[in-house]
Chain A
Amino acid sequence: MDCDICGKQAKVHLTQLVGGQIKKIALCDNCAKEKGVTDPTGFALAEMLLGKTGGKVSTPAPFQTGATRRCGGCGFTLDDLRRIRRFGCAECYTTFHDEVSQMLRGMHKGTKHCGKVPAGLMELHARTQRLEELRGKLDLAVIAENYEEAAGLRDEIRQIEIRVTPATD
């Protein structure tokens, strides 16, 4: 069996029960290490297969609490945010995602951008939405244990991700 992430020979096989459904995943040594699969408590199969991070090479930074949480982009901390109610750089919005959601409550008419998108990002925007759609399909295929279709979708997702990633770096 091949690794679900990179297609190399799989060494680690995981089974997890999510919402009454059995989910299986196969990983090679490298991907297992990268995803932190060696620590079963810190790893969510469903999230990886179906969720936001689905198959992406990068994993979210380990969760740090309170004042020690620090933005990797600019060194801004949660304490700084509480003090000045402003952010240190664009990446802070990812680092302090939960706090942002809290701050935005009642601040604006909505919480999702409906305005102008930079022309250069239109294509990326479309691809991002296509990815979401494909991941949804993959979700259904896995639930239906239709692995052939799932593999096809996984390949398609991988293809798009290869094109998306260099553009976002």
Chain B
Amino acid sequence: MMRFTTLVKNPADWMTGEGADNAIVLTSRIRLARNLKGESFPGWAKKEQRRHALEVMRPAVEALPCMKDAFSQELDDLSSVQKQVLVERHLISREHAARGEGSAAVIERRQSIALMLNEEDHLRMQSIRPGMSLRAAYESLATIDEELEQSLDLAFDHELGYLTTCPTNLGTGMRASAMLHLPALVLGDQIGQVLQAVNKIGLAVRGLYGEGTESLGNLFQISNQSTLGESEETILRRLERVIAQVATHERNARDKLLEDDPEMVADKIGRAYGVLRHAWIIDSKEALNHLSLLRLGGDLGFLPTETVKSCDALLMDIQPAHLQLHSGRKLSPEERDSIRAEIVRSRLQSLEAPDIGSRRKKNDSPDQNPEIL
């Protein structure tokens, strides 16, 4: 069985966009909710009942081929920092971390498949991929679902589909989502319009950590709301279409910003670079917002392309619990802000200042943008 330190030692492929175009769509994620027949749902079950459900599920989950040598722990056996690290990595939910006895997490070695046992539902299974890859994420989870069906008696109704604790998840029990980086739509003041349109189609837009969280670092999550009355295929197809459209809007907005106001863009990216390279005290919010601009700079050619990857790794590593894990002790908010600044400075040490000239060389038609010079 894998240990916690081994699990979190390296970032997952999906965290740094390994092998995928993640300039705008960072990650794709599918979550399936499943419950056991004849067992009270976790939120209503008594302690012994939750335990019993866990004893039924855990062997089945650990026996999954993808869970060979996986990380498998009861949440009660993890420290609060360890739980928080898993939350920051999106491997368990905040709700799950808050649950007590009888809840467990089983996470595949590469951190791309994570199963929560006794969350709001008996089983919440999740698959994450880098870039726009909802289909592949769904397929890997559907296989796991079919494997689990063999050994677990799942609650299913011919009318209502998979039965869930909350009726908002009935039917497919599927929540598909993508994390998007939309700095140009924010800078160009078009974000409200775009998100409103997405909402109108019946899709939800949320901040970095899901339900009820504010958007930080210009990161937005788009997901389906309806789970009943449509097949998985229909839901995925609509979501793919909308996400592709939003990504196109962002791409166009980036082009337009460069065309209309390259000085403003250069200024924003330059300032972000300056702060991150020279700050000695920085809180999460400030760091995330500057990293967002640095990431944009990497994509637009002001900074080397690898900057995007460094930013993505930092987004994960500068979060409070990750900092405490890194330091090996509990930190006060003040200490965290200093250590955060230290980590950011050291990671960006060899990053040269944004160069407008170098960006221009990457542009195929320099004559169209003489003002950049």
Interfacial residues of chain B within 212-240, with CB under 8 A of chain A in the complex: 226-232, 234
Residues in chain A near residue B146, CB distance under 8 A: 119
A65 interface residue, CB < 8 Å from B?
no
Contact B44–A88 (Cβ < 8 Å): yes
Residues in chain A near residue B170, CB distance under 8 A: 104, 108, 113
A62 interface residue, CB < 8 Å from B?
no
Given A90-B38, A115-B171, are A121 and B229 also a contact pair (CB < 8 Å)? no
A89 interface residue, CB < 8 Å from B?
yes
B252 interface residue, CB < 8 Å from A?
no
A17 interface residue, CB < 8 Å from B?
no
Residues in chain B near residue A93, CB distance under 8 A: 157, 160, 163
Residues in chain A near residue B149, CB distance under 8 A: 118-120
Contact A109–B229 (Cβ < 8 Å): yes
B373 interface residue, CB < 8 Å from A?
no
Name B's interface SS: loop
Interface string of A73-117 (1 = CB under 8 A from B): 110100010001111111101000000100110011111111111
Residues in chain B near residue A112, CB distance under 8 A: 159, 228-229
Residues in chain B near residue A111, CB distance under 8 A: 228-229
Residue of B with least CB distance to A168: B37
- Among A76, A86, A116, A120, the residue within 8 A (CB) of B232 is A116
Name A's interface SS: loop
Please count how many residues in chain A sit with their CB below 8 Å of the partner chain's CB atoms.
33
CA distance A93 to B162 in the complex (A): 11
B289 interface residue, CB < 8 Å from A?
no
Contact A116–B142 (Cβ < 8 Å): yes
CA distance A51 to B87 in the complex (A): 50
Residues in chain A near residue B167, CB distance under 8 A: 85-87, 100, 103-104, 107
Residue of A with least CB distance to B233: A115
Interfacial residues of chain B within 159-184, with CB under 8 A of chain A in the complex: 159-163, 165-168, 170-172, 174
Residue of A with least CB distance to B225: A108
B39 interface residue, CB < 8 Å from A?
yes
CA distance A125 to B161 in the complex (A): 11
Given contacts A103-B167, A107-B168, 14 further A-B contacts (CB under 8 A): A80-B44, A88-B44, A89-B40, A90-B35, A90-B36, A104-B167, A107-B226, A108-B168, A108-B229, A113-B170, A115-B230, A115-B231, A115-B232, A116-B172
Which A residues have a C-beta under 8 Å from some C-beta of B?
73-74, 76, 80, 84-91, 93, 100, 103-104, 107-121, 125, 128
